[in-house]
Amino acid sequence: MEQRRPLPIADTSAERPALTGETLETLTANLMAHGEPAFRARQILEWLYKKRVRSWDGMTNLSKPLREWLASAYTLIPASLVSSNQAQDVTDKLLLELSDRALIETVIIRAPQDGVGINHSRKTICISTQVGCAMGCVFCASGLDGFRRNLTAGEIVAQLLAVCHQEDPHSPRADDEFASFDNIVVMGMGEPLHNYDNLLRALTILNAEWGMGFGARRVTISTSGLVPQIQRLAQEKLGFRLAISLHGATDEVRGKIMPVNKRWPLGELLPAAKAFAETHGRMLTLEFILIKDLNDSTDQATRLAAIAKDLHAHVNLIPYNTVDGLAWQRPGETRIEAFAEVLAQRSISFTLRREKGHDINAACGQLRLKAERAREGDSTDRLVP
């Protein structure tokens, strides 16, 4: 009979790593070091990503001592749901709490399809990569309280599992589909390319056949424009889509609102973006928030059209969402229409996001900021009412 070494009990007072941050390789190595056969790692990851158990005890084909050891060595999912804020059945904001009590947001955006219920809508998930943000864009809620820390790979993956746990009960999935969503945009709190290694590890776990088998082409990473990291991303085996937050078509305008433009001005950013698009053979997206009297002139529109044409990029026009405590406003309808018309006349592929009400696409970071501030001022220590 197989003689098994007793499993050591890990020191639970130390920070336990998250199972959601392990790759098949690292988990296998760890299990084998504890006398377990290699195939256990696949079994465990299957429970986590495919059968979606939420407790160690749910992993019923593992022995009790192994489950006990796993529980002492790992955190299963390093994020817990604090609240879920459904706005008009179209967008759900999940507020998640991490082990250090930091709060992050993960958003589910549903695109309803005619003739079928909301449960059959296409779902895009917006994930966060940092707590706060260091980039200091002057219009953005995510950076208002500065940068706290990077999310770990396990915390990034945990956001996607939290979405699946919420959506699974009413998301019909094909047998070979393991995600209950269709697309991911890395557009939540934080600058994803500032947390490059953890993000890539998380997306690799998501993509792997032992993970959720989720295609890289269905993932869009949005960046404020970190040139060296864009160049690095272009070399990755997995072909993610890229969105650039432009928000200004000249250095003068962009420099007023995005400090990153001083380090990486348009003269460096645009060639890097073009090289990325050429390597990947896929259209880039240029995000352009329209802010009243800042970047909403037809001159900016004309210059934006020229940039988009040169890069063969799709433009996302986003009327600014006001942020509590900031004075920036969205332009009036006629001004927005005039801006869009300049792009249309020049045959630029573009979308003008017209959300039903500000709450739905409320700017990244706002829900978390409100909750953090409520928490600071609330002696009973309740998070959200």
Q: Which residues are catalytic?
A: 105, 364
Which entry of ligand SF4, ligand SAH, none binds 143, CB below 5 to 8 A by partner kind? ligand SF4
**Binding site partner of 318, from ligand SAH, ligand SF4, none, Cβ cut-off 5-8 A by kind:** ligand SAH
Contact between residue 278 and residue 231 where contact means Cβ atoms under 8 Å apart: no
Helices (H), the chain: 24-33, 39-49, 64-73, 153-167, 196-207, 227-234, 251-257, 260-263, 266-280, 298-311, 333-345, 366-376
CA–CA distance, 273 with 193 (Å, rounded to integer): 14
Task: Report if residue 318 touches ligand SAH, rule: CB under 6 A.
Answer: yes
187 touching ligand SAH, by CB under 6 A: yes
Minimum distance from CB of 318 to ligand SF4 (Å)? 11
- Pick between residue 133 and residue 156 the one whose CB is nearest to ligand SF4: 133
Q: Which of the residues 198 through 237 are near ligand SAH (CB under 6 A)?
A: 222-224
Q: Which does 200 bind (CB under 5 to 8 A by kind): ligand SF4, ligand SAH, none?
A: none
From ligand SAH, ligand SF4, none, which one binds at residue 284 (CB under 5 to 8 Å depending on kind)? Answer: none
Angle (CA) 12-14-17 rounded to 5° is 90
CA distance 341 to 364: 27
- In the complex, the smallest distance separating the C-beta of residue 319 from ligand SAH, rounded to whole angstroms, is 8
Bridge partners, 186 (sequence order): 221
Q: Phi/psi of residue 181, each to 5°? A: -150, 165
Name 56's Cβ contacts closer than 8 Å, sequence gap at least 6.
62, 67, 68, 70, 71, 76
For ligand SAH, the binding residue among 44, 161, 363, 369 (CB under 6 A) is 363
Among 321, 350, 367, 371, binds ligand SAH (CB under 6 A): 321
Asked if 103 and 97 touch (Cβ cutoff 8 Å), the reply is: yes
Site residues (vs ligand SAH, CB under 6 A) = 139-140, 187, 191, 222-224, 245, 247, 287, 289, 318, 320-321, 323, 363-364
